[in-house]
Chains A and B, each alone.
Chain A
């Protein structure tokens, strides 16, 4: 069973190229989502701290 998964993940010997592409997409999406959430939270926090 695990042999089947490994064969699939190896992508005919080109797994490194394919997974480096998919991994870069995952890093891009993950990094951007975290940065967007942090910035939004910080903006709300700054506004809440301003004297009305």
Chain B
């Protein structure tokens, strides 16, 4: 019998194939360590960029030719709307990942996104009402953009009520994920509402084709948006880190962490 040629595959060590790198941070202790490293950077960026954006927006950007000074509400209203919508999409994404792969951390991130997203959605509606009164002559109209944004706030409230009403955290996670996935349909409706229907709310000022505002206004909006995005990311990671500690309180890594903090 002829001797068999040894290939590199034969020489490979037995055992499971090496794990992909992208699953590395799905382990709660690694995620906790990553958050602890990222949070100071995010808090600092949030403070510096938000402050710079507000100074530029409230003090440097020129007066609007049509609306006068009241347009400066834009520097709060627009980032709040973006964060409210994207947090809900992110909730649906992590809820879907949690349902598909049954990962604890995906559900934790989904839960951590909800309070911040809800707060920014409420801020968007509040600042929108304050902007509507002097420009439209009314605090509120039942047009498609405003109504779909209010529906988003109700979806957040429903999600928070649902996950806190179910005692078993794993069942609560799964129920919340289903609600997040179903409610995500509302986000494209919010975005498209000013295109599909005749609304009192104006269309988008920033599109892939360009921006219909002066450069100083755009820079101020960019700084405010980046600052508040950094803030939202820091708040979500901070909440997820605490949720991980609360859920894993019996685990060895949490005990060691608590001992190190003493």
Contact = CB atoms under 8 A, between A and B. Distances in A.
Most buried by A among B241, B245, B257: B245
A12 B246 contact: no
Given A12-B69, A18-B73, A22-B54, A40 B127 contact: no
Contact of A17 (B120, B130, B257, B262): B130
B70 A14 contact: yes
B235 A25 contact: no
B254 interface: yes
12 contacts: A11-B70, A12-B68, A13-B69, A14-B68, A15-B69, A18-B69, A21-B130, A25-B123, A32-B116, A33-B235, A39-B239, A48-B259
Contacts of B27: none
A13 B174 CA distance: 50
A29 B69 CA distance: 24
Interface in A1-52: 8, 11-15, 17-18, 20-22, 24-25, 28-29, 32-33, 36, 39-40, 43-44, 46-48, 50, 52
B238 interface: yes
A15 B70 CA distance: 8
A48 B258 contact: yes
A43 B254 CA distance: 10
A29 B46 CA distance: 11
Dominant SS at the B interface? Answer: helix
B249 interface: yes
Contact of B238 (A11, A12, A13, A40): A40
B76 A17 contact: no
Given A12-B63, A47-B249, A21 B258 contact: no
Interface in B101-117: 115-116
B237 to A, nearest CB: 10
Contacts of A8: 59
Contacts of B130: 17-18, 20-21
Contacts of A50: 249, 255, 258
B34 to A, nearest CB: 16
B145 interface: no
Nearest to A45: B258
B238 A17 contact: no
